[in-house]
Amino acid sequence: MEDEHENGVVPAVVDAHIKSLLSALGGFSPENPSRYVPGDSAIDCLRDLKRWLRLFDDKMNRLDVSRCISGTTLMRIDIPHIVHNWAVSPSALKHKLALAALELAVILTWPLDRDPETTTLNHYMHMPALQRAHVEYKDKLLDAKMGLLQAAVRMQLPAMAKSLRDRPPKDAALVKMALYIVRNAALILPPPDAADFEHKASLQRNLLICQCADQRIFAFLLTLSSNIEDFPEEDVLLLEILFHLVKRVSPSALFTPPSQRGAKLGSAMEALIAQEKAVLQRGLPSRHSRFGTMVWMTRADGKVTTLAGQDALGGSEARQLKLDAGKKFRPAAMAQRRHMQTRDMGPEPALDSAAIQSLREFVQNFLDGGFNPLIGQLRRSLEREASHVMGYHQRQFFYVVGWFLEAEMERRGSSKGSNSKPDSNSNPEQQKTENEISSFNLLAAALSQEMFISLYRHMRLAFDNKAWDDLVAAMRCFNHILLVVRQIYEASSDADVEIADNILSRLFYEQDIQDLLVGVLRTYNGQGFEFLDTAIELVHNYTHLLSAYSTQNKDMQVRAKRARRRNKARKQQPADAAPADLTGSETDEEEHAASKVTADRRFDFQQFLQRFAVQPIVDAYVAYTQFYRDLDNAQLKRAHRYFFRLGFKQDMLVMLCRVDILNLLYEMVRGRTPINPTFPIARDWAELGKRVFRKVVQKLEARPELFVELLFSKSISMAYFVEHGYEKKKALPETVRVAAELEFRDVSELEDRIRVLVHVLYGQGKHAEVKWVADSVAEGIRVRMANPVGPVDPNPSQSTVPNPPDSLQTPDTLLSVPDNQTALSTLKNGHLRLLLSVVGITRPTTDPETPSSPWHIPSSVSLAHLEQCSSLLALVRLDDVTPDAAAAALRLVRRKPTSRAFLSSSDTDTPGFAAGGPTVRRSDMPRQPSRRRRLRRASADISDDEAAARAQRRREKEREKARKIKSDMFVHSSDDDSDTAAQDGEFWRREAEQRRANEEAFLRAQRAVGGKGGGGDAEMGEKRAAEAAKKRKLVDSESDEEMDDGLPTFDDDDDDDGDGNVEREREQGAQENEEDKDVEMEENQDPEDEDEEDIVTSRKRRTTGGFVLDSDSE
């Protein structure tokens, strides 16, 4: 079979068509080789190339045309010269040619997106070549001689000068096209697998910044940012450009003076050299280095191991490492995750002095005039989820906000040193004006309450959806907001201090933010160093700022969530229990508790710190500290402050008593690669290691059994037990909600009642409580046997035996509760309370019950009843209770209904409602949960398939939005007025009306002839005319579809099937029926009306491709 691909890359027919179009586009003049001359049909060639790109690359998703163009001179020679020469040409034709070329450049430099769901074999074939071609395209876009970026901006200046109301869609597309070409130039990065990836990326970033400054692109961006209300749909394009300009650029490097910048680089180099020298000093060569070396090493089990090599002489630690390195077992490595810094951030650029100067001037101007308008507009667009907003714009928005906040802090820090000595000759009014301009009002859009709400909502949503990249950007923004607020709080102005106090009160009032910070560190599981570094820095700054604020505001309040009591009671209620009928004051209290979801409480800073003393957060800090070789002094200081506070201020040193943590502390201080000794924090880490080891040794000497605990992680309860030797006793709450009163279902015998309740309690794991009941009954029997006076008759008026005197009455037996858990169970467990009432144990008072209220056996309970209960308990406690038996016993107990009040005594004879009305008692049969509860439970338990389907729908929505943005926003910007879709529709409408008029005239002629000749011939003529009309309609529709695209197709993209043909036949049959009805109605008309119509002779029309050539003659 003949191969349809040329060189196995693209189809041969595609390559032939593309090259033929490029040959007709234009070239250099033979008379003047330096002058580019376009072809006669250059505009048509560019439009045809655009159609080919839309057909093959967008609709068919093949990338064949882009790959074919990448090997030509279209983007390297033709488009740059066309745009450069005729961008502002007075000729309308040349200007239209430049617009078409610029539009094609936007399409060719559009970002490449490898979606796993839509990726085909062509993507793997063409994507590497297209990535290399995009790097070359970027070099041409940034060519200073061609000035393509400046030409694009100059072409849209007339459209930009118009107001929003007077700007037509074509002019709006011109503004977007200029922004798109700048966005594409800033976004393109070299392939990550390239050998000079970092070097090439740095060179292109420097070139981009310098060219944006030289070609006045920065002025264009500042103009749009400061007047963003006139360009509401261009806000996200400005966001993308800003993001790709400043990503991974250190703001401190921009605002550092050149002299200090060189000193910092020199000191950093000296620190690296000193660190390398210290490492080499530990393994100096010896006199044995000239000979072969073999060492015998005795291991802990007494066996001897032979090691060979010079590194075996370094010491015992080096020998252990060499022994471990020789092991054959290698654990399976986890799949490497693609984090934010490697996916769309690129490497950290090394900017030169010219780029730093240009970018610093742009950042200063943007902060002074464009930050507040643009950030406010972007926040509103993101909140309402506008059609031009994509999913990644949230991440870019918070990253850009955080970066510019940090830049403003660096600018203020650098200006303090230069303005430390005020000029004595300056005017006080001028100094006041400068202070007002340089105040924090420039950052008002990022410090508003709406911004805090959007930030927290995005953080919570990203955390719940496990979108770690979005969460990192939001946490970085939140961290810089806290730092800015701290600078405002430390300002000398009273107004600034008051503003900072209000901001902090709003931030610290919400406990949900504290819960989120705790949850972020608790759920760390290999999300990358950037995620961990950002989270720890945010927690560090938040904790220090909260500590200072809570110290100054002793009565600080936070809003904490409270669970709904009524809903919680419903969840704890058994499925077979009858619903509660609460009335009176109890119902009012329950409704009040259910309505108050949140409540204010006093803030306790120590309790807040205790939430960070759990094992998952300790593990997160340990994982962060393991990067100590790559951390700077500030990062090491954050980790040191946490471990010091945990071990010695919170007295939770037992959380650090683990082998891997102790080994890490040793490696950081005395290991082979310790902390850089030039860091000021190195001495603090050495002191921390000494104190930790001293305390651990003391504990191990006091209790040698703790050696086992060095191998395991510890929970809070286990840490308390290891520290003190006993479990921590929980304090009894002051008020506990008493369980509802229960009753039996058709269980009357005492033995059966005790057996049912014991089985239920055993099923709940309440063995200790049942044992306490049995011991209490035995204690009551012992007291009664010691005092053999009969019980007091509870009804003395109905008894013939007089009561004994008070001195001879049996006193009540007071019972003691052994522990707090049993005391709480006597209030919160309804089955235990029912068992106590069955055996005769009650409360001695009618006051509201508390956990400390006593229990007693009243004197009215007889000794025989107690002995019978004791024997039954001893017998039932020997039963082997299975889960089925416990469930069966649970069905024999129900909640006791409340009493119902009657309206009046006169209503007792006749019922107020009919049988089955609202006053009827509910059935004892288990009832199904309500439909609302059932639907709510179903929505909470979402299956994996449904979650995957929802994610698929979200991705499809994003793809559709991106496809719409790429196809509709700018592809029609260079079309001529004669090629608009409206005029095309008007043309086809006139053609359809002309064909319909011809068909009606033909039918009238046939009816006239049939009326004269006979009814049968007329009917046959009308049917033939209808069939001919249908055929012409089919031919016309097919020809319209062919003319609409104008390009040949090389794949069978026909999606019609049998169902489509059946539907088409049904529609044709319906048309025939309607036409037959019309014919019958016209046949029933009067002959006089038929004679009045003009007779038109029918003849065959000449058509070509569905167009009527001689339709006007009729």
Between 845 and 681, where is the model more confident? Answer: 681
Most confident option among 244-248, 272-276, 1068-1072:
244-248
Continuous H helices in 703-854: 716-724, 750-763, 767-786, 820-828, 830-839
d(C-alpha 901, C-alpha 583), whole Å: 10
Residue 923's pLDDT band (boundaries 50, 70, 90)?
Answer: low
pLDDT band at 420 (very low <50, low <70, confident <90, very high): low
Query: Is the separation of the CB atoms in 659 and 707 below 8 Å?
Result: no
Whether the predicted pLDDT of 285 surpasses 80: no
What is the gyration radius of the CA atoms in the chain, in angstroms?
Answer: 43
Residue 627 pLDDT class (50, 70, 90 cuts): very high
Is the CB of residue 43 less than 8 Å from the CB of residue 98?
no
The Cβ-side half-sphere exposure at 59, using a 13 Å CA radius, reads 13
pLDDT in tens, 103-131: 999 999 999 887 778 888 888 999 999 99
904 phi/psi in degrees, rounded to 5: -160, 170
Task: Tell which residue, 399, 398, 419, 412, has the closest CA to residue 367.
Answer: 412
Whether 787 shows a pLDDT value over 60: the answer reads yes
Check pLDDT > 60 for residue 910. no
The confidence band for 695, taking pLDDT boundaries of 50, 70 and 90, is very high
Q: Are 349 and 249 in contact (CB under 8 A)?
A: yes
pLDDT at site 659:
94
The confidence band for 1108, taking pLDDT boundaries of 50, 70 and 90, is very low
pLDDT value of residue 1053: 41
Residue that has been written with the tokens 């509103």 in this structure: 380
Angle at which helix 494-509 crosses helix 468-489, to 10 degrees, equals 140
What distances in angstroms separate CA 554 from CA 178, 252, 604, 606, 704, one per listed residue?
56, 37, 10, 13, 44
User: What helix, strand, coil percent values describe the chain, rounded to 5?
Assistant: 65, 5, 30
Cα–Cα distance, 826 to 850 (Å, whole number)? 10
CA distance 726 to 722: 8
**745 φ, ψ (degrees, to nearest 5):** -110, 105
Q: Over range 921-940, report the average pLDDT.
A: 49
With a cut of 50, say whether residue 335 has pLDDT above it: yes
Give the C-alpha separation, 580 to 573, whole Å: 10
Q: b/e for 183-209, b at 16 or more Cβ within 10 A?
A: bbbbbbbbeeeeeeebebbbbbbbbbb
Q: How confident is the model at residue 195 (pLDDT cuts 50, 70, 90)?
A: confident
% of residues, the chain, pLDDT over 70: 73
Q: Which amino acid is at 39?
A: G
pLDDT at 465 over 70: yes
Contact 226, 370 (CB under 8 A): yes
Contact between residue 665 and residue 688 where contact means Cβ atoms under 8 Å apart: yes
Q: How confident is the model at residue 150 (pLDDT cuts 50, 70, 90)?
A: very high
CA–CA dist 961, 389 (Å, integer): 9
State how far the alpha carbon of 674 is from the alpha carbons of 9, 110, 273, 533, 678, in Å.
54, 48, 15, 20, 11
Cα separation, 343 vs 3, in Å, equals 37
**Residue predicted with more confidence, 987 or 1073:** 987
Give the up-direction half-sphere exposure of residue 397: CA atoms within 13 A in the CB hemisphere. 26
Q: Which pairs with CB-CB distance under 8 Å and at least 24 residues apart come from 1074-1083?
A: 1075/1022, 1075/1026, 1079/1007, 1079/1019, 1079/1022, 1082/1007, 1083/1007, 1083/1015, 1083/1018
> What are the tens digits of pLDDT across the range 345-389?
888 899 999 999 999 999 999 999 999 999 999 999 999 999 999
Three-state secondary structure readout of 817-874: CCCHHHHHHHHHCHHHHHHHHHHCCECCCCCCCCCCCCEEECCCCCHHHHHHHHHHHH
Average pLDDT in the 915-933 region?
Answer: 52
Q: Which of 151, 78, 144, 147 is nearest to 108 (CA)?
A: 78
Q: And the tokens for 615? A: 């094992």
3-state SS, 883-905, equals HHHHHHHHCCEEECCCCCCCCCH
Scanning 109-120, the segments in alpha helix (DSSP H) are none
Between 69 and 940, the more confident residue is: 69
Amino acid at 689: G
Return d(Cα 503, Cα 443) in angstroms, integer.
Answer: 13
**What average pLDDT does this structure show over 238-250?**
96
The structure tokens 């003393």 sit at 613
Return contacts of 376-381, CB within 8 angstroms, 24+ apart: 376/445, 377/228, 377/229, 377/232, 377/235, 378/235, 378/236, 378/239, 379/445, 379/450, 379/451, 379/454, 381/232, 381/235, 381/236
Closest residue by Cα to residue 48 from 1041, 1045, 1053, 1050: 1045
Tokens of 96: 């239209």
Helix residue ranges, H only, 188-234: 197-214, 217-226
Out of 87-91, 953-957, 1054-1058, pick the least confident. 1054-1058
pLDDT-based confidence at 824, cuts 50/70/90?
confident
- In sequence order, the 6+-apart residues with CB closer than 8 A to the CB of 789 are 804, 808, 809, 810
Question: Which residues, in sequence order, are bridge partners of residue 298?
Answer: 304
Mean pLDDT, range 658-662, rounded to an integer: 94
Token representation of residue 191: 């392939």
Residue 171 has pLDDT above 50, yes or no: yes
Q: Is the pLDDT of residue 42 over 80?
A: yes
Q: Given its phi and psi angles, is residue 1106 left (phi above 0), alpha (psi -120 to 50 degrees) or beta?
A: left
Coil/strand/helix, residue 1103: strand
Alpha-carbon distance of 840 to 858, in angstroms, equals 8
Average pLDDT over residues 839-859: 80
Q: Which of 54-58, 572-576, 928-932 has the highest mean pLDDT?
A: 54-58
Please tell me the pTM assigned to this model. 0.73
Residues paired with residue 296 on neighbouring β-strands, in sequence order = 306
Q: What mean pLDDT, rounded, does the chain reach?
A: 79
For 158-162, 455-459, 655-659, 1068-1072, which range has the lowest pLDDT when averaged over its residues? Answer: 1068-1072
Angle (CA) 574-579-582 rounded to 5° is 130
Q: Encoding tokens for residue 1097?
A: 């002779």
Q: Give 436-502 as a DSSP string.
A: HHTSGGGGGGGSSHHHHHHHHHHHHHHHHTT-HHHHHHHHHHHHHHHHHHHHHHTSS-HHHHHHHHH
Residue 447 pLDDT > 90: yes
Is the CB of residue 844 less than 8 Å from the CB of residue 725? Answer: no
d(CA 254, CA 404): 12
Phi, psi of 597 (to 5 degrees): -80, -40
pLDDT of residue 353: 93
Return the residue matching tokens 């464009």.
370
Q: Give strand pairing partners of 557.
A: 602
pLDDT tens profile 866-907: 899 999 999 988 888 899 999 999 999 999 887 655 444 444
Residue type, 1076: D
What is the C-alpha to C-alpha distance for residues 652 and 639, in angstroms, rounded to an integer?
16
